[in-house]
Structure 1
Amino acid sequence: MNEKFTDHADTSYRLAEQKAAQYFASLYAQVMDKIYVPTLTEDFQLWKRNHIHPHSWLAFFSKGKRKPDSRDYYRYIGWLNYTGKMDDYLDRSVSYMYMRDLGKALDSPDTQTRIQRLVVDIKNHLIHTTRANGGDQPEYISLAGLYRWAQKKGVENATIWVINKLKNVSSHIPKEMNAEQAQRKLIKIIIGVVLHAMEEMDDEILPAERALRLDQAIRLGYSYGLTYPFIDDLLDSGVLDDQEKEQYSRMIRTALLTGSVPDLGEWAGNNMDLIHYVHSELREAFEYIKRHQRPETQKTFFEQSYVFFHSQDMDRVKDLSNANYTNEDLYLPIILKSSSSRLIVRSVISAPEDEGFDNRTFYYGIYNQLADDFADMFDDMRDGAVTPYTYYLKYRDQRSDLINPFELYWAVISHLIHNVYNSNAKTREVLLDRAINGLKRCKERIGIEKYNEIMEVFASGNPEFNRLIQHMVRKADDVDFFDKLLRDQMVTVLKNDRKEKEDFFDTVKTVRHQINNLLHIPKHKEISPMKEPLIDAANYSLEGDGKRLRPIMSWIMGVNEYGLQASAIEPLLISLEYMHTASLIFDDLPSQDNASTRRGRPTLHQVQNSATAELTGLFLIQKAIQEQSSLDKFDPKTVLALIQYSSQRAADMCIGQTMDLHSKGKALTLEQLNMICFYKTGIAFEASLVMPAILAQVRETEIATLKKFAYHAGIAFQIKDDLLDLEGDLVLLGKPTNKDVENNTSTFVTILGQEGASKEMWEHYCLAMEALKEMPRNIAFLKHLLNYIVNRDS
């Protein structure tokens, strides 16, 4: 490694360490002399006037007005609005974000104007989405909500890109790591970088330039945020062994010192596939950041990144069994890593230097780190991690020189209010709100008994001050924050989403197996030998590796949603797959799409001949009608209505295929392509959902909603097929790619281009998701079906 790079990096780190040492020395003096105690006591006396209110008997008996649990997102937002607390709630939340994430001082009139503008925007959005969504997940977490935001900002391409990136990251997070927290951190960083970019733009910037900067901010945010799951979390976890961690850390250090990611080379450990993916992704992210750096900010980026990584590395190698760490050993790295992690953001987006921002951010960082370490101390103790809290808990009786991190935490708050933010009243309000909220959340999370035990340890040196604090923790109102609500909700949604996704694929796998067992057409003993070739041909087509998506949809809607007996609807499931397989046989014929493989095997006309394939298709259609007519567990009139509907939809599919054939070689409009797509694909989706609904005799309004969902889901499915034909994997698809080009077929890709087709797919995804809001029942399956449609590889 070049000694020049190393010397420069070491010099940068020593300078940062000296600044951190001076800051720590001033905090240490405040703790030793208890200077912060009378100062904060006075602050709290002023603060509590707005937060401790006498409870009236009327309020006690007005249960409808009582504060709901914040985990009930929509009721909580509704309660804030109903009680008139929404404005103050958002004001302190946005103010805190401006201090923490954007490094702003709250005494600036311009900052206050921006805060109030954002408060109004968020309030209007929350009220609108609360009314519109009912009990569904918050719009800001949903992919549909994200894409609708992207459309307003003109950043659809970047948003589609980052959705795909996040999907891949999620699938590569090892089970030993907390997948939801890793995703949350990454999303938080992306949002933070976007906010920084937005803050740097004034109202005079033209929309096109604004969209370009936001596009870059999304990609830069992902590129920087990727370091959290795949550097910090990965090195902190037990996924890599010691040798792997050393090799991996050395590679990262080399990249930061030289400005170039080294080749991975030989990997000695067991995690080769993971490391190859992580190395490739981080290299791409690193190069993207470098390309978008201005020369004057690149030096700052590498310096701050090195300080961040080196301080993290120093913290990471600490051993809780070592009883000899000094206070400086414990605190200087966390001052550096917590401040540099935020200072990097401005260099990532190439923002101009701002001395006020740099100083505020440097002094602010340790506050957040001490708050986070306090919240995580029990997990850290379990994992044997060294933090100021875990070290103090273990060695406080042996080491009288150890500084109490809880006291240092209050000293930092006092220092921020009075020395960094010049005793600003708004800053005092927000920081004390945050501190008391953190203790309230901790008490609720671990329980009163354990909380009191911890306070006995950490607060015993200042009994009078602690009594004041605990009084605030018990009695203070209006100290909760929107970002905490978002954090809790996001983790809950990610966990629920993962569980629902697992259930979705488990159900699909189970039902698919059941359906496969139903499809084989038997050859009875008395059957004429002349009939056998046709049955064999039908079974050949049915036995391919089909997804069975349509009968699976019908089974889940019929059994899980409408409560129909699984055995009673078996004929319906069989008929759907017979009809679908027949349509594929016809599609593949030389006179139509002329496909050579289907479901991973040669097409039927290749194995037999075109005439046999045509007759097999007709045979399966008749078998499908026969199956539907055997639905003898249902009212005959209902079955007749189902057969009439099915026949009409089968005829419509023929019309769709005819339109498709007549369109070959012609330039279609998007409207024409949508029509063909609906008739070819959307109708089959519709039938799979509507036919069990007919058997269950649900209301026409619900059937109309299912049709609307199926229309957009079907088009989204077809667009994904068109994209896979362009970029898919032959092995995964089970059929050749680039057939649309060979056949001179108009597709969404040929009409709109790859980017345009992706946008159109996500538009129909949103419309399908929005249709589900009208459903009067659980739609988890349909939601995950739609996610599968747009994210599948085959």
Structure 2
Amino acid sequence: MNQTFTDQAETWCRLAEQRAAQYFASLYEQVKVKSYVPVLTEDIRVWKKDHIPPFSLVSFLSGRKRKPDSRDYSRYIQWLRYTGKLDDYLDRSISYIYLRDLGQALDSPATQKKVHKLIGDIKNQLMDSAKADGGDQPDYISWAGLYRWAQKEGIETAAIWLIAKLKNVSTRIPKEMNAEQAQRKLLKIILGVILHVDDDMDDKTPPDERSRRLDEAIRLGYSYGLTYPFIDDLLDSGILTDLEKEQFTGMIRNALLTGTVPELGEWSENNRILLEFVHAELRDAFQSIQAYQRPEALSTFYEQSYVFFHSQELDRIKDLSCESYTNEELYIPIILKSSSSRLIVRSVLSADADEGFDNRTFYYGIYNQLADDFADMFDDRKDGAVTPYTYYLKYRDRRPDLINPYELYWTVISHLIHNVYRSDAKTREVILDRAINGLKRCKERLGAEKYNELMNIFASGDPEFNRLIQTMVSKADDVDFFDKLLRDQVVAVLQNNQKEKEAFSATVASVRDQINSFLHISKPHGTPGMGEALIDAANYSLEGSGKRIRPILTWVMGVNEYGLKAKEIIPLLKSLEYMHTASLIFDDLPSQDNASTRRGRPTLHQVHNIATAELTGLYLIQKATQEQTSLDCFPAKSVLALIRYSAEKTEEMCMGQAMDLQARGKALTLEQLNRICFYKTGIAFEAALVMPAILAEVPAAEIDALKKFAYHAGIAFQIKDDLLDAEGNVEVLGKPAGKDIENNNSTFVTILGQDGAGREMWEHYCLAMESLKEVPRNTAFLKHLLTYIVGRDH
């Protein structure tokens, strides 16, 4: 590497380390004399008045017993509202975010104004979410919630881009990494960047500028946040060999020093596919950050990013078996990485900051890092990671010179409250709330016995102060935080979504195999030759690699939700697939779409001839009706209603195809296209849901909700088809791409453009998701089906 770049890097690191060393020396002096003890003892004496209320038998027997577990998101928010605690809860939570993430001083009137505004916005969101859905998952922790927020801000395109990016990342995270935590970190960084941008604007910011800046924030947040799963977590995971780690870190270092991402180079076959993706994403992310930077801010970004990466590396290469690390070697890197990680965000955004921002952010970082390391202590020790806590646990008896990190933690708290934030009462309140809450969560997670053992190790230096702290841990109330609640909820949602997704995929595969096993049409004895040829043609069309979405949907709803017996609805499943296959045969004819391939194979009229294809389609429609008449395990009235419904839907599908043909070469309105689309596609989804509901004799209101879902899901499906037709290829799609343009058809893409079609698809996705709130069943399968529809690549 060029010597100039190397010298520049050494200068950056030397200056940063000098500043960190001065800060550490100041803290070290305070630790040695335990100056934090009398100061914080007085702070806690004042603080506890608002957190340990006088004993009341009534409150003990009623209110306390009714308090739900804070991990039960929905019930806990409702409890906070009911008890009148929600305002204070949000106040300390949002104040903490302004303190930690935004580097603000809480004694600033301007900051307080922003805090109160954000509290109001979040309360409104919580209320809207509670009204809309009584379930455990809040609306805004969902793709639909994200898109609805983006609509309000006029940044739908950025939201669609982000959803696609996050989906791609989630599928690429190796099993050796914690996928949920990696995604959570990425989402947290994106939200943090959005908060920085929002903090930089006010009510006077023009709407267009606000939309532009929030759009940038989403893209920059993703670009910066990507470094956590694909640099930090990847290097910590053990996936890469030592040689690959060296090569990978060298590539990152080179990019930060030169401003150019090097080529990937040679890698082992085991990790090459992963690293090709990571390299491409990080390269694009790096270039995006560069493109959004003001020229005068670019050097600051490089400097802070390099210091952050360098300090991470200093920690990463430490070996827990080494007994000779000094206190400076243990603490200076974490001062650097904890402060620079937040300074980078401001740099990435080229955002303005008040005069004390850099100092507050620099001094604050180690507090958060020590809290995080305390919480992760046992996981870190298991992984052999060197942190102040794991190192002290191992060497405290042999190294009396080692600083007790728990005592340093309280020293930092005292220093922040009184030396950095000028003894501000609100800051004291928030920081002590957070500290006690952290210990409460640790005690709950470890259990009282193990927690007390831990305290005997770390808090033995001043028993009286520790007794005070443990009294607060046991008795103090109203110290929990919304971001912790949200974090737990996000992780739970991600984990649950993954389980549901796996169950969805397993169900689809299993039911598809079952359906494929009985779709084949047998030839009765004595069938004439032409009849055999017709059956062969029908089986050819049925044997293609169809997704079988419609009969699968019918099976899941019929068997899992309505309690119908799988064997008894086989005729219904057959009829749905026969009808769908017939519609595809007619669609592919030269007089209609004139398609050459379907389901990865030549279309029926290409293999035989047009007449055979037409007759096969008619034959399958009749077979579908015949199958429906054999549903003899159900009341005749229900079967008759089902056949009548099926005939009506077949009629409507024919009308839809006729409208589609009549519209060829004509410019359609969106309303006309929606109508045609529903008749051609949405009706089939509706039938798959409504027909088993008819057999199960479910209430009319539920059937109406299912119809609403099917309407929007069907249109979303068609829009995705149009988008794939515009951008896909025959190998992936299983049919020719670009047929709509070739046939001069009006599609959602030709009417709205690709961006507009994407927005329309997500609008129908949201409407379909919202309609499921009216269905009194487990709708997890339908939700994942809808997500599959908009996320599929064929």
Deviation of 1:269 after TM superposition, in Å, equals 5.5
Give the alignment of 1:416-495 within 5 angstroms.
416-495=416-495
Give the alignment of 1:123-138 within 5 angstroms.
123-138=123-138
Alignment deviations for residues 51-92 of structure 1 (CA, whole Å, 9 cap, x no partner): 001342222332697211112111110100110000100000
Alignment deviations for residues 266-307 of structure 1 (CA, whole Å, 9 cap, x no partner): 113520000000000000000000011101110110000000
2:182 corresponding residue in structure 1? 182
Give the alignment of 1:351-370 within 5 angstroms.
351-352=351-352, 354-370=354-370
Q: Indicate whether 1:222 and 2:218 are aligned.
A: no
Residues 762, 34 of structure 1: alpha-carbon distance in 2 compared, 3 angstrom cutoff: same
2:404 corresponding residue in structure 1? 404
1:715 corresponding residue in structure 2? 715
Deviation of 1:202 after TM superposition, in Å, equals 2.8
- Matched residues in 1 for 2:51 and 2:339: separation? 30
1:585 corresponding residue in structure 2? 585
2:30 corresponding residue in structure 1? 30
- Matched residues in 1 for 2:714 and 2:661: separation? 19
Residues 163, 487 of structure 1: alpha-carbon distance in 2 compared, 3 angstrom cutoff: same
2:202 corresponding residue in structure 1? 202
Q: Indicate whether 1:662 and 2:662 are aligned.
A: yes
Q: What residue identity is the alignment partner of 1:365?
A: G
Q: Please state whether the residue corresponding to 2:567 is helix, strand or coil.
A: coil
The two structures, once aligned, show a CA RMSD in angstroms of 0.9
1:641 corresponding residue in structure 2? 641
Q: Please state whether the residue corresponding to 1:605 is helix, strand or coil.
A: helix
- Matched residues in 1 for 2:601 and 2:383: separation? 51
Q: Please state whether the residue corresponding to 2:137 is helix, strand or coil.
A: coil
Q: Indicate whether 1:536 and 2:536 are aligned.
A: yes
- Matched residues in 2 for 1:48 and 1:59: separation? 18
Give the alignment of 1:52-67 within 5 angstroms.
52-62=52-62, 66-67=66-67
2:92 corresponding residue in structure 1? 92
The answer to whether the Cα contact below 8 Å between 1:587 and 1:593 also exists between their aligned partners in 2 is yes
Deviation of 1:728 after TM superposition, in Å, equals 1.8
1:520 corresponding residue in structure 2? 520
- Matched residues in 1 for 2:68 and 2:217: separation? 37
1:72 corresponding residue in structure 2? 72
2:384 corresponding residue in structure 1? 384
Alignment deviations for residues 166-211 of structure 1 (CA, whole Å, 9 cap, x no partner): 0000000000000000000000000100111111123222101110
1:339 corresponding residue in structure 2? 339
- TM-score (normalised: structure 2): 0.99
Q: What residue identity is the alignment partner of 1:470?
A: Q
Give the alignment of 1:491-502 within 5 angstroms.
491-502=491-502
- Matched residues in 2 for 1:351 and 1:118: separation? 19
- Matched residues in 1 for 2:471 and 2:136: separation? 37
1:701 corresponding residue in structure 2? 701
Q: Indicate whether 1:263 and 2:263 are aligned.
A: yes
The answer to whether the Cα contact below 8 Å between 1:572 and 1:627 also exists between their aligned partners in 2 is yes
Deviation of 1:415 after TM superposition, in Å, equals 0.5
Q: Indicate whether 1:618 and 2:621 are aligned.
A: no
Residues 93, 459 of structure 1: alpha-carbon distance in 2 compared, 3 angstrom cutoff: same
The answer to whether the Cα contact below 8 Å between 1:65 and 1:79 also exists between their aligned partners in 2 is no
Q: Please state whether the residue corresponding to 1:569 is helix, strand or coil.
A: helix
The answer to whether the Cα contact below 8 Å between 1:243 and 1:269 also exists between their aligned partners in 2 is no
Alignment deviations for residues 661-703 of structure 1 (CA, whole Å, 9 cap, x no partner): 0001000000000000000000000000000000000000000
The answer to whether the Cα contact below 8 Å between 1:92 and 1:481 also exists between their aligned partners in 2 is yes
Deviation of 1:23 after TM superposition, in Å, equals 0.5
Q: What residue identity is the alignment partner of 1:348?
A: V
Deviation of 1:746 after TM superposition, in Å, equals 0.2
Deviation of 1:124 after TM superposition, in Å, equals 2.0
2:153 corresponding residue in structure 1? 153
How many residues are paired up?
Answer: 794
2:734 corresponding residue in structure 1? 734
The answer to whether the Cα contact below 8 Å between 2:72 and 2:136 also exists between their aligned partners in 1 is no
Alignment deviations for residues 286-333 of structure 1 (CA, whole Å, 9 cap, x no partner): 000001110111011000000000000110000001111001111000
Alignment deviations for residues 542-601 of structure 1 (CA, whole Å, 9 cap, x no partner): 000000000000000000000100000000000000000000000000000000000000
Q: Percent identity?
A: 74
- Matched residues in 2 for 1:449 and 1:48: separation? 25
Q: Please state whether the residue corresponding to 1:324 is helix, strand or coil.
A: coil
Alignment deviations for residues 508-562 of structure 1 (CA, whole Å, 9 cap, x no partner): 0000000000100012333222311100000000000000000000000000000
The answer to whether the Cα contact below 8 Å between 1:241 and 1:269 also exists between their aligned partners in 2 is no
The answer to whether the Cα contact below 8 Å between 1:177 and 1:237 also exists between their aligned partners in 2 is yes
Worse overlay, 536-545 or 200-209 = 200-209
- Matched residues in 1 for 2:730 and 2:104: separation? 53
The answer to whether the Cα contact below 8 Å between 2:129 and 2:140 also exists between their aligned partners in 1 is no
The answer to whether the Cα contact below 8 Å between 2:182 and 2:229 also exists between their aligned partners in 1 is yes
- TM-score (normalised: structure 1): 0.99
The answer to whether the Cα contact below 8 Å between 2:73 and 2:136 also exists between their aligned partners in 1 is no
1:246 corresponding residue in structure 2? 246
- Matched residues in 1 for 2:743 and 2:253: separation? 52
Q: Please state whether the residue corresponding to 2:590 is helix, strand or coil.
A: coil
Deviation of 1:638 after TM superposition, in Å, equals 0.4
Alignment deviations for residues 349-389 of structure 1 (CA, whole Å, 9 cap, x no partner): 11135441111000000011000000001101111011000
The answer to whether the Cα contact below 8 Å between 1:670 and 1:751 also exists between their aligned partners in 2 is yes
Give the alignment of 1:312-351 within 5 angstroms.
312-351=312-351
The answer to whether the Cα contact below 8 Å between 1:2 and 1:258 also exists between their aligned partners in 2 is no
Deviation of 1:136 after TM superposition, in Å, equals 4.6
1:744 corresponding residue in structure 2? 744
Deviation of 1:733 after TM superposition, in Å, equals 1.0
Alignment deviations for residues 143-162 of structure 1 (CA, whole Å, 9 cap, x no partner): 11110100000110001000
- Matched residues in 1 for 2:483 and 2:349: separation? 23
The answer to whether the Cα contact below 8 Å between 2:31 and 2:407 also exists between their aligned partners in 1 is yes
Alignment deviations for residues 78-113 of structure 1 (CA, whole Å, 9 cap, x no partner): 100110000100000000000001000001011111
Residues 158, 668 of structure 1: alpha-carbon distance in 2 compared, 3 angstrom cutoff: same
The answer to whether the Cα contact below 8 Å between 2:297 and 2:347 also exists between their aligned partners in 1 is yes
| Unaligned 5+ runs, structure 1 | none
| Unaligned 5+ runs, structure 2 | none
The answer to whether the Cα contact below 8 Å between 2:197 and 2:214 also exists between their aligned partners in 1 is yes
The answer to whether the Cα contact below 8 Å between 1:244 and 1:269 also exists between their aligned partners in 2 is no
The answer to whether the Cα contact below 8 Å between 1:596 and 1:606 also exists between their aligned partners in 2 is yes
Deviation of 1:627 after TM superposition, in Å, equals 0.4
